[in-house]
Amino acid sequence: MTTEQANLAPTCVNHPKVETRLTCSSCGDPICPRCMVATPVGQKCPRCARQSGRAKGNPESMLLARAFGAGVAVAAAAGLLMLLVSFASLLLAAAHGFLVGATVRWAARRRTHTRLGLVAAAAVVLGLGGVILLLGGNPLGVRLLLAYAISGGIAFARASGAW
């Protein structure tokens, strides 16, 4: 090996004519400053920076608490509206679940995870059940159990990223 070959820097994987000493903090590929994406954990190549919210690991406790609080608030407000309009509609229960799941995702900074799905389903039960208790109803009625199942299932699917 000559000294000239030893001094050559690797070239960027996306721009083969650009020498660089930067590497992606995830995959280790050499990247140039033009294609580098700055993240909280270092520089990444565009491919690694595009990973889904599911690939970011378990959400921290504060994020789960924030998502749960937002989910319960929306579940209670939407549940009250659902009860006042017409509770017999399964379509309203589905819309309720979608709204709660979307709110939990929003509160969790657009992340998806199984734990966030569980938080959304729990928010549905607590929010809707709490409103029914405050109105003096039976939160364990047959119709309500069906609404919990539909709304909670859709909220889980939406917040966990399955849908």
| CB-CB contact of 72 with 127 (8 Å) | yes
Tens digits of residue pLDDT in 134-146: 988 888 888 888 8
Residue 150 half-sphere exposure toward CB, CA atoms < 13 A:
16
Q: Beta-strand (E) ranges in the chain? A: 37-39, 42-44
End-to-end Cα separation, the chain, in angstroms? 55
Q: What is the pLDDT of residue 1?
A: 47
Q: What is the pLDDT of residue 96?
A: 92
Q: Enter the pTM of the model.
A: 0.65
Tens digits of residue pLDDT in 86-136: 655 778 889 999 999 999 999 998 888 899 999 999 999 999 999 989 988
Tens digits of residue pLDDT in 92-104: 889 999 999 999 9
